A and B are shown apart, each in its own frame.
Chain A
Amino acid sequence: SAVISQKPSRDICQRGTSLTIQCQVDSQVTMMFWYRQQPGQSLTLIATANQGSEATYESGFVIDKFPISRPNLTFSTLTVSNMSPEDSSIYLCSVSLGETQYFGPGTRLLVL
């Protein structure tokens, strides 16, 4: 398995601002993922982040809104840009070890 940490664990932000979420894993992994979990909903994949290449975004998500960095094999960041109240969600990162994904504790974001 993998141990994953995220910062911040939660935040309250004003609309129009941006927040960068960090994800750190305790071992080197090729694939990292970013998910959004809106209130009372299941998880939706935002993008896949592979080290050394541009992130691949799912339908409905764009780089301008959710820029992602993947500078090395243990770290990634997701920025939520120009936030609106609709961006209030839990944002989770995960890593893939073969066919199995392990998740971080999530970042709880409230946008006012």
Chain B
Amino acid sequence: AQSVTQPDIHITVSEGASLELRCNYSYGATPYLFWYVQSPGQGLQLLLKYFSGDTLVQGIKGFEAEFKRSQSSFNLRKPSVHWSDAAEYFCAVAYNSGGSNYKLTFGKGTLLTVNP
């Protein structure tokens, strides 16, 4: 069965500092990987996704993530954090649920606090 682990429940960084959020997955086939962000009181917004090809993927809001098959990881990074990045971040893996249908398994999320 597939699973996603986000080891850090809560991370605090200073504005302007770099950020890395960790995500490890377990899935028997080629993974489709996603990062979503949930700002306070909001729904989930897709930041970026990896299906195949270049293992470094660029997303919105200056985020990027690197897929490392050998480490089963898909860590999210941003070189300089802005106060507006304070939110909860969810890593997810899509798994085939039959035919061309896919479902998502989510990690438990990492809450990011940004200090001024």
Near A by CB (< 8 A), chain B positions 82-116 give 90, 94, 97, 101-104, 106-109
**B-side contacts of A102, CB under 8 Å:** 46
**B-side contacts of A108, CB under 8 Å:** 41
Q: Which bucket holds chain B's interface residue count?
A: 20 to 34
Describe A's contact surface by its main secondary structure: strand
Of all chain B residues, the one with the shortest Cβ separation from A101 is B104
| Residue B44 is within 8 A (CB to CB) of chain A in the complex | yes
| Docked-complex contact B106 and A43, CB < 8 angstroms | yes
Near B by CB (< 8 A), chain A positions 52-103 give 92, 94, 96, 98-103
| Docked-complex contact B109 and A99, CB < 8 angstroms | no
Q: Which bucket holds chain A's interface residue count?
A: 20 to 34
Q: Which residues of B contact A (CB under 8 A)?
A: 32, 34, 36, 41-46, 49, 51, 90, 94, 97, 101-104, 106-109
